[in-house]
Amino acid sequence: MKNFHANGKCPIRDVLSRLGDKWSMLVLVTLEANGTMRFRDIHNAIADISQRMLTVTLRILEADGLVSRKVYAEVPPRVEYQLTRTGESLMPHIRTLVDWAMQHMPEIVESREGH
């Protein structure tokens, strides 16, 4: 039987721990849709994320090399975020997932109401 133990090499667990949190995909999709964005722009685009969670999420995405962070030595300060090459290469796959969700959400909602 095929199994998926947590032996440290399971790609499903990896991708989940990266993208499965509450905000990462949303930030990635927002950045893809708008290109380069400042912190405030992202915060406005995703209204109900807290400042703290946006910072945390961006730091993780930056550490993973999916998002680049550019600080300008100005007053007032300016920080710009955008997808890296690696980040961009991920987006088509997320899009197919989102397309599937849009297509099948009606039947899922219907199924859920029967339970």
Partner DNA sequence: CCGGATCCTGTAAGATACTG
Partner DNA sequence: CAGTATCTTACAGGATCCGG
Cβ partners under 8 Å of residue 30, min gap 6? 37, 42, 45, 46
The interface region with its own copies, picked from 50-58, 71-79, 92-100 by CB under 8 A, is 92-100
53 lies in the binding site for its own copies (CB under 8 A): no
Name which of residues 45 to 104 contact DNA (CB under 7 A): 48-53, 55, 58-59, 69, 71, 76-79
Distance between the two ends of the chain, CA-based, in angstroms? 31
12-21 own/partner pairs: CB under 8 Å, 24+ apart: 18/64, 19/94, 21/57
When the beta carbons of 37 and 91 are compared against DNA, the nearer one is 37
Among 13, 18, 21, 64, interactor with DNA by CB under 7 A: 21
Helix/strand/coil (H/E/C) assignment for every residue in 42-55: HHHHCCCCCHHHHH
Distance in Å, CB of 75 to its own copies, minimum: 25
Size of the site for its own copies (CB under 8 A): 53
Which residues in this chain contact DNA in the complex, by CB under 7 A? 21-23, 38-40, 48-53, 55, 58-59, 69, 71, 76-79
